[in-house]
């Protein structure tokens, strides 16, 4: 099977072009703890899960750890903690799987 990295990076770049930078800061005026990871980054991770048919948080976390170039394209400089990823994504993705 060919390496999907180039196609994945194209998809993530398209998302960046569709959603302007202002989307990154839309959580600034909300109550509660400040979110370290943007909703746009989490949206990109969700798109990766659907595109690559990864059906678990552990699976997408492992993919991001093993693919730093794609992780950076999602807006993550370092690996996101698996428990954080689970907390931020699990209630949003359950209806899709």
Given a cut of 80, is residue 77 above it in pLDDT?
A: yes
Residue 97 pLDDT level (bands cut at 50, 70, 90): very low
What is the pTM (predicted TM-score) of this model?
0.72
| Sequence ranges of the domains in the chain | 39-97
Q: What is the DSSP string of 18-41?
A: HS-GGGGGTTTT-SSSPPSS-HHH
Q: Which residues of 24-44 are buried (b: 16+ CB within 10 A; e: fewer)?
A: eeeeeeeeeeeeebbebbbbb
Query: Where is pLDDT greater, at 82 or 35?
Result: 82
Mean pLDDT of the 67-87 span: 90
Q: Assign residue 80 a region (left: φ > 0; alpha: ψ between -120 and 50; beta: otherwise).
A: beta
Residue 14: alpha-carbon gap to chain centroid:
14
């Amino acid at each position: 099977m060919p390496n999907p990295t180039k196609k994945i990076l194209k998809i993530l770049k398209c998302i960046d072009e569709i959603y302007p930078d202002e989307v990154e800061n839309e959580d600034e005026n909300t109550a509660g703890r400040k979110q370290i990871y943007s909703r746009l980054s989490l949206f990109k991770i969700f798109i990766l899960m659907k595109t690559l048919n990864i059906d678990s948080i552990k699976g997408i976390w492992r993919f991001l750890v093993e693919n730093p170039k794609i992780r950076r394209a999602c807006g993550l400089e370092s690996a996101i903690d698996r428990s954080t990823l689970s907390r931020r994504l699990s209630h949003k993705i359950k209806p899709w799987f």
